[in-house]
Structures are given as structure tokens and as C-alpha cells.
Amino acid sequence: MMATIPKKYYLTAVAALLLVSGCAFYDNFTTYFNTYYNLERLMKESEEEFEWQDEKLRTTPRVFVPDPQIAEGTMKASETPPFLESFIISKQKLQPVAIKLDSIIIKGSKILSRHPNSAYVEGTLFNMAKSYFYRNEWLPSQIKCGELIDKFPMGDYSPDAHLLYSENLLIQRKFEAGKVMLSRTVDIAWLKERYDILSEAFNLQAELALYEKDMEGAVRPYKQAIAQTEDQEVKARWQVDLAALYYRMSEFDKAAFNFKKTHSYSPDYQAEFEAYLYEAMSLIRLGQKERALEILEDLESDGNNEEWLSYVYGGYMTKVRIYDPEEAWLLAQKHADTTYMMAPMINAVYFEKGMDYFVKDEFEQAKKYFARTRNMRSPVYKASERLYYYLNLWEQKQKEADPLLKQFETDGNLKADSRAYLAKTLFELGRVYDQLGKPIQSLEYYQKAIDVADSKNPETAKYLYVMSLAIRDDNRRASDSLMEIVAEQYSLTEYGSDAMMRMGYTKRFVIDSAAELYTSGRSLRSNGEYGFAIKQLLRVYYEFPKDDHAPKSLYLVGWIFEKDLVNIDSALYYYQLLIKEYPNTLYASDLGPAVDYLLTLRSGADMPDSLKPKQVAMPGSRPPVMPIHDPQLMQPPNGSKSPIDLDLDALQNAPGNMLDDAKKKVTDPNTFIPEIKTNLGIDPMKLFGGSDDDEDQKTEENEDDPDNKEIPEEEKNKEIEKKGEVPDSTKTKK
């Protein structure tokens, strides 16, 4: 027999229950009327302020355009994908409601801290997440969504929080995590029968797949959803969305079939209108004009479509644009401008007309239509804005480049600054064509920029580098050749550094001073790498012309040509360049007499007394280097534009290309020396310091390195006097 519970315990339990429920009721009551009510009111006012709710609840037909991303070009890694831009509130729209959103966050924080057990925590978290989202603060919004999902996984706001969480991830370009969250959004929306959330989630999945060029992945969610749902009206809505994807992908046969299939379900009035309209648009593009016009006429005659006649007329204009002559199009355009000004569907048709001109490279006509379609928010707004900007830039750069380019092509007579400006403008035109998706014209203008640019200008590195990348897929060999030029000739620029990295050059090839370049050139010469040695040494002259190593480098370049490559023509060119550029250096004074002597000898002019043989040579004087072959004109060997452009083969073949007449007369120094002895009665080798083997060897050892210059006689005598000895020059001669 059970024990009887005293009545007083029942009363105590009931009193405790009433107390607890009363506290909860009081907590919810005060939370709602003190804070939460105002929080929701501020959110509603904020969304109405920038017409967020109007956008979501709009009941007008949608506008679809086949492949509107055709001219979007390559996006930067930091740019927001186009299909997400509609979620971002601009600063102009945010400014009027900024204070209200701040107040929502403050009130929400109070509720979470003071009433953590009230019934309004879930709604508070969601409103705070939306406030952060509207303020473009993606991470705080994402955190609040995560808190809501963790605390209320099956709550009424859980599907909304999942969807908002997904949007935050996608805007931050966290695509893989966004895909996972979208999948979870679909699951919870199915479970809670939130078909509005399902539609938005499917749309995001499809847009993301299209963005990643996954066509099958775009339509798969809608196919699965249509197969799973039993709601005939929802089936019809998703069937229209599926057909619209095919239409946007320009698969018009599949689009027409799926639009027609919509009528087998129970579409609402808007879905039915969209299905008929875009079935007709698909048939027009497939060439089935008669059936398409029948559908458009039925839509036009239906009195219920009075507000949507601009969409029907857009269908007529599409037919005229594709099939009828230009005169018919102008009449249709005139009617549209007076009757349906700024209608979304007409705007889309104008965009396609602009694209017709754009594809045919009629940029001026295309620009006019893009100027019209960029002034209204629509599916083609982004593409119109971008195309108009680049076509405007194209027109501006063409006007700047045309007169200078014409002058350059006519006589090539441009000042250095004008030439640099022309090269830069041509390169920018190439970039514009690249952004417009015109690769052939882009390469053409890159090449023009390279042809016009001065090879000594560091900006040329950028032109060569971009050209190399542009042709890499089609001509890898030519691309590597251009990249090597950038790496070798412009290594101190940012493009040269990247080119060296791409070509696998090690860091020890990066030379950043005249001394290092000179040392590198000497080392390469010692290893027999004459071509690379010359390039390094000439870089000293071109990049550090005022450095003390510049004349030494030119001297060593001439020496390599004379002694190592036996190319006297090229050697003489650099010796003359040294005398011209650095006349007051020891190297110039040393080479001067020898160069003057040979030039006079080969010209046939009378030898001046200063160059005639002397009976007594100055003690300790250094035999000058005397090129033996005919020097002729002072110009770069082999007709090169710049000495730095020479390669090893060109250097070895230069004599035959430069001085054919001289080659006929003088081909070997051993045959030339007897000729001088016979005609002049002198021995040129003895004239400049003797010709025996020991003296030749001694001369080579001294001349092999410009640093081994012999000390002048006066300085030698001073050193000897310091030691207490008698200089040779003061001793009595026998």
C-alpha cells in the first residue's frame, strides 16, 4: 500500500511551479517590451529604408540574358563574384540606417547579457547577424549565425541562419566551406519545409557552379529538388529556374523543352508568364519564329498581362534584332524609347544589340548601347558598366596614340620622351584589348609597344614580360626567349626578378652593383663564356655609366673581341667608344695613339709627325693595344641596334658583315705586317714595343687585366728616391 503524501507538499510544489513559470513569463515580458520589440522595429525600418524587403518580395517577371558574363574578363582573386554583389549593401544605402543597425547590435547585446534564458535569444542572434551582414562585417555575422545554429539547431530561425552563414562564407571567397554549408542549408530547409530558403539555396548552388564553369553541377540541385517535392506549385517554380539556367547557358533547345514542361505542374501566374515568354525567346533563337510569334501574340492579347507588356515587346525586339534589317530595328527602338522607357526587358535587349556590335569590333556603336544599359540596375548592369569603361578608355588611348604612331611609322623621328609615351600608350591599348577579350588585337599592340620602345628604358621589361605571358600557351619557345631577355637585360627590375625565378636562375646571377658586374664579366671570360661576359660588362656601361668600372669594362670588352674572339672590327668599335665617352681616363690615353695611327694608315692620308716612328722609346712605356684590321665606320658590329643585343654567333660573324671591303684587303695580321714593312719600310711590332716572344708574353700579361696598368715613370722614380736609390732615367747613358 502506497504511502499518502501530505497535502501541504502538493501545495508547495504547485507554488514552486507557479513561481518558476511566473519568473519566465516576467522575463519574456520585460525582454520583449523593453528591448526586443524596439530591436525588431529598427530592423524592419532599416530593411524598408534600402528596399531590401521590396527586392525579396518583388512579383514582376525576371530578366534572363544568355551568357551575360561574356565580357566580364578575368577577375582578380580579391573581387566578389558577380552573383553575390546583389547581397552587398552599398555605403550610400547604408548611411541612412547606420545608427539603427548600431542600436540593434547594442540592444541585442543587452538581451544576451541580461536575459540569456528568455524566449527571444534566437531572434536576437539572427537580427544581430543580419545587422553585421548589412554593415558588410562578414566575420561577426558569421559568428552570430554559428552561435544560433549551435544553441537552436532545430529552431525557427535555423534555416535562415544556415543560409546567411553560407552567404557570408561565399562573399569571403571561402567557396569549399560555402558549398558544405549550402548543403546543410538544403537539409534543414527540407526538414522545416522552408521552400523559400530552398529556392535561394538552390540558386546559390547553381550560380556558384556556373561561376566555376560546372554546367552540370548548376542544374543538378534543381533536378533533384523537382524529383523530391510533392508540391506542384513549388515544382513549377523550380522548373522555371531549371529552364532559365539552360537559357542563360545558351542551350536553347533544352531551355524551350523545360519551359514548356512547366505547364504540366501547377504554376502560379508569374511562373506561367515567365515560362511562355522565355519559351518564345528560346524558339526565336532556334529559328522557329512562327511558333514564337504565336506565343507572344497570346501573351499580348491577355488582359491580365497589361503591366508586363514591356516584356512581351522585348520578345518582338529580339526577333527584329536577329532577323530583320537595320531599318526595322531602328523603328522598333524608337517605339520602345517612347512607350517602354527604362523597362528591364528592353534594357536587356539593348545590351544584346551592343554585344552584336562589340563582337564585330564596331566599338563606337557598341559603346552607345552600353552607355544606356549601365544606367539601370539589371542582370546586365555589371557587364555594361565594365564594357563602357574599357571602350571609353580604348577611344581615349586611340586618340593619343594615332598621331604619334603615324609620325613614327613615317619617318621614325620621335624625341625620346615622345617615343617612351607612345610605347606606353600602345601597351595600355594592348591591355584594354586583353580586358575586352580580344587576344589577337592585344598581341598586336604589345608587339607595337616593343617595336617603338627604347631597349635602354626599364619600362621595356614590362612590355616584354607581359608579351611573354600572353603567348605562353600558344608558343612556349618564343615565350621563354622573351623571358630570358627580360631576365638577362633587365634583372634589376621587378619583372627581371620574376623572370629569373621563372627561368630557374639562382640568386648568384642577381648582380646589383658595377663592381659585381665587372667581376662577373671577368670570371665568365676566364671560363670561356665570352658572350655572357660581354653582356655583363656592357651592363656596367649602360646601367652605371658614371662608375669608375665603366671605362674598364669597355676596355675589357674590346680586349675580348681582339684577343679571344679575334674580331678586330668589333674590338675597334668599343675602343673608339671608350675614347669618345671617357677621353680623360688612362685607358683612353693609352689607346688613342694606336687607334689614330691605324685610322690614318687605312685612310691613305699623310701620317702626322706625332704618329711617325720615334728613334728612342720612353723607358718603361707600355705598348698600346693596336687593332690590326680596318676599323672603318664607328657603329655597332653586325648592324645591331644596341651592343647589348649581340649574341655569341653574331659577334663571331661580325667582321664579314661589317667591312666586306676591308676583309678583301686584310684577312690575316701575318700577311698585313709584311705589307706595312714593304710600303713604309718600318716594322709596326718593333715600333710599339718589340715583337719577340718574351715581350709579347709580357705585354699580354699586363694587358689581360685593366687593373694591371703599369705605374707611370714619374711615380716609379719617386718610389725609388724614397728608398735612397738613383732612378734609371737620371743615370749616365753609355
Q: What is the average per-residue pLDDT within 373-389?
A: 88
Q: What is the average per-residue pLDDT within 285-301?
A: 95
Using DSSP's 3-state secondary structure scheme, residue 260 falls into: helix
Strands (E), 132-283: none
Residue whose entry in the numeric block shows the C-alpha cell 659577334: 651
Q: What is the pLDDT of residue 381?
A: 86
C-alpha grid cell for residue 201? 539555396
**Residues 613/706, Cβ–Cβ less than 8 Å:** no
pLDDT at 372 over 70: yes
20 versus 480: which is more confidently predicted? 480
Q: What are phi and psi of 173, to 5 degrees?
A: 65, 30
* Interatomic CA distance for residues 575 and 232, integer angstroms: 92
Residue 444: count other Cβ atoms within 10 Å of its Cβ. 15
Per DSSP, the residues of 636-695 read: -GGG-SSGGG--HHHHHHHHHHH-HHHHHH-S-HHHHHHHHHHHHS--HHHHTT--SHHH
Residue 544: Cβ-neighbour burial (10 angstroms; 0-12, 13-18, 19+): middle
Task: Give me the chain's average pLDDT, please.
Answer: 79
Tens-place pLDDT, residues 324-344:
999 999 999 999 999 998 899
- Burial code (b: 16+ CB inside 10 Å, e: under 16) for 161-183 equals bbbbbbbbbbbeebeeebbebbe
Q: What is the pLDDT of residue 63?
A: 93
Percent of the chain whose predicted confidence (pLDDT) is above 70: 72
Q: What is the pLDDT of residue 269?
A: 93
Dihedral angle of Cα 417, 422, 424, 430, to the nearest 10 degrees: -170
Q: 496 pLDDT band (50/70/90 cuts)?
A: confident
**Residues 569/666, Cβ–Cβ less than 8 Å:** no
C-alpha grid cell for residue 391? 571602350
Q: What is the pLDDT of residue 39?
A: 87
Which of 27-31, 36-40, 251-255, 338-342 has the weakest average pLDDT? 27-31
Q: What is the average per-residue pLDDT within 29-54?
A: 75
Tens-place pLDDT, residues 648-694:
344 333 333 333 433 343 444 444 445 444 444 445 444 444 444 44
Tens-place pLDDT, residues 185-209:
999 999 999 999 999 999 899 989 8
**Residues 549/538, Cβ–Cβ less than 8 Å:** no
Tens-place pLDDT, residues 615-625:
444 444 444 44
pLDDT at 225 over 70: yes
pLDDT at 471 over 80: yes
Per DSSP, the residues of 351-416 read: HHHHHHHHHTT-HHHHHHHHHHHTTS-STTHHHHHHHHHHHHHHHHHHHHHHHHHHHHHHH----H
Q: What is the pLDDT of residue 358?
A: 94
> Which domains, and CATH codes, for the chain?
36-72+81-213 (1.25.40.10), 514-722 (no CATH)
* Interatomic CA distance for residues 191 and 237, integer angstroms: 19
Tens-place pLDDT, residues 510-539:
455 778 888 888 888 888 888 888 988 998
Q: What is the pLDDT of residue 78?
A: 58
pLDDT at 77 over 80: no
Tens-place pLDDT, residues 409-467:
888 778 889 999 999 999 999 999 999 999 999 999 999 999 999 888 889 999 999 99
AA identity, residue 652: Q
Q: What is the average per-residue pLDDT within 303-318?
A: 94
Q: What is the pLDDT of residue 456?
A: 86
